[in-house]
Amino acid sequence: VLDFNDPFSTEVKPRILLMGLRRSGKSSIQKVVFHKMSPNETLFLESTNKICREDVSNSSFVNFQIWDFPGQIDFFDPTFDYEMIFRGTGALIFVIDSQDDYMEALARLHLTVTRAYKVNPDINFEIFIHKVDGLSDDHKIETQRDIHQRANDDLADAGLEKIHLSFYLTSIYDHSIFEAFSKVVQKLIPQLPTLENLLNIFISNSGIEKAFLFDVVSKIYIATDSTPVDMQTYELCCDMIDVVIDISCIYGLKDDGTGTPYDKESMAIIKLNNTTVLYLKEVTKFLALVCFVREESFERKGLIDYNFHCFRKAIQEVFEVRMKVVRSRKHQSHMQKTKRATPNGTPRVP
């Protein structure tokens, strides 16, 4: 990992900050999304008392650092170098406990956003209105509207209307936290428009209703086509990935326990009772394409498989271009560091 003061570091591994008051659910979110912890087990997590940094490199596209901040950090403390941290940040996720009095959280949100924006105007500000599983549907909407209104009014009063805040209703007890994290991660993927375009071409030529490109480890979808995302559809895709991985772990390994349960041969078909077929195919070592297809369209499976072959080839080309850019930036960064070294007052010749 490059030094995070390096100008090229954000291009290689962007940083996501998890912030919010104590006991708002930050560590639980991280454990559930990236460590497969059961939501019920998070009840026994200890409160975070120091900044926890973790590299998330599950796939070629989901590749970033996530920093979990304890709720008691004081930005005014001179020992806290907030400029260094915000300078290399791609997204700032602020978690608000919807079941608690959120006035203090809104004050901290305003302070955090204004400080971060002055250091780095390019940060994506994401607000997770969390623990909504304990609220009724009407109360969820009312809470989101109230928090949205108050947060934006505070920014307007400070003359910072141009700061854009994105709001999500989340809970670790359903798939809403995975969908919210998917939206956050997508904003950090520079190839997103290319991936969406490839998916649009793929489904229009294959008679497919909906397609997602998933990171199979975290169940974050890094891209989907331009049709709207239905929560029930997303949940079915997540459940399918769980089934495929679980069965692959039982039957996909060799007799001596070696090999990988998910490989280029991985494929699954699940027929639902509403004349819809779920079709999963391996794209890369960590990515899977999950499609919704009507039964009559799935009869042309040969056409779908041929188009999928073209799609996978195009994804690999996108990946190769990305790796060339990363290698080039690392090389430029190394050259800059070499030139900056000046032993005995004379520049070192690379």
Q: What is the pLDDT of residues 181-203, one digit of tens each?
A: 999 999 988 888 999 999 999 99
Amino acid at 238: C
Q: What is the model's pLDDT at position 42?
A: 82
In this structure, are strands 124-130 and 165-169 parallel, antiparallel, or unpaired?
A: parallel
Q: What is the model's pLDDT at position 342?
A: 54
DSSP 244: H
What angle, 0 to 180 degrees and rounded to 10, lies between the N-to-C axes of helices 301-340 and 192-206? 170
Q: What is the 3-state secondary structure (H, E, C) of 89-153?
A: EEEEEEEEECCCCCHHHHHHHHHHHHHHHHHCCCCEEEEEEECHHHCCHHHHHHHHHHHHHHHHH
Give residue-wise pLDDT tens across range 218-264: 888 999 999 998 888 899 999 998 888 888 878 776 666 566 667 77
Q: What is the model's pLDDT at position 5?
A: 40
Residue 48 has pLDDT above 50, yes or no: yes
CA-wise closest residue to 12 among 88, 97, 87? 88
Give residue-wise pLDDT tens across range 86-130: 888 899 999 999 988 899 999 999 999 998 999 999 999 999 999
Q: What is the mean pLDDT of the chain?
A: 84
Give the separation between CA 151 and CA 107, rounded to whole angstroms: 9
All CATH 3.40.50.300 domain ranges in the chain, comma separated:
15-188
pLDDT band at 9 (very low <50, low <70, confident <90, very high): very low
Give the separation between CA 142 and CA 73, rounded to whole angstroms: 30
DSSP 258: -
In the CATH scheme, what is the homologous superfamily, with its name and number, of domain 15-188?
P-loop containing nucleotide triphosphate hydrolases (3.40.50.300)
Q: What is the model's pLDDT at position 182?
A: 92
All CATH 3.30.450.190 domain ranges in the chain, comma separated:
191-325
Give the separation between CA 215 and CA 219, rounded to whole angstroms: 5
Q: What is the model's pLDDT at position 177?
A: 93
Residue 11 has pLDDT above 60, yes or no: no
DSSP track, 303-316: HHHHHHHHHHHHHH
Please state, as a whole number, how many other Cβ atoms lie within 10 Å of the Cβ of residue 188: 20
Q: What is the model's pLDDT at position 58?
A: 55
Domain 191-325, CATH: 3.30.450.190
